[in-house]
A = this chain, B = another copy of it.
């Protein structure tokens, strides 16, 4: 585990007409403030990363498919400095990941159709995102 990343189990309300999947409420642990919600599809085998936000807290949910997330903590003042974390999110592990700013992350599509929802604390702003495509970090 990495310090300050939260994993929160979410409910699925089953119905014959189509199930309802919980996301996040304003009263939930991990909710800070609302900036933007967007949907990021990622194809099987594709990898998006590495990125690091300097301001945004992310709340990540995977209601379709399966996505592997990798995190690395390079915050020098962190109790988990230099530690890594890997977790697969899917309907079978239906949780919300709350990720504070300053954590490096990347994610990979594992199923035929994969959708990530980010409920972010601030609107997208390219100026607060660091990207490092050639980061020497390898995950499978």
Contacts and interface: CB of A to CB of B under 8 A. Distances in A.
Interface of A: 16-27, 33-43, 46-48, 63-64, 109, 114-115, 117, 119, 123-124
B38 A21 contact: yes
Contacts of A35: 25-26
Given A26-B34, A37-B37, 18 more contacts: A16-B43, A16-B46, A17-B47, A18-B40, A18-B42, A18-B43, A18-B48, A18-B109, A20-B39, A20-B40, A20-B41, A21-B38, A25-B36, A26-B35, A26-B36, A26-B123, A64-B64, A64-B115
Q: Which of A20, A35, A124 counts the most B-chain CB atoms under 10 A from its CB?
A: A20
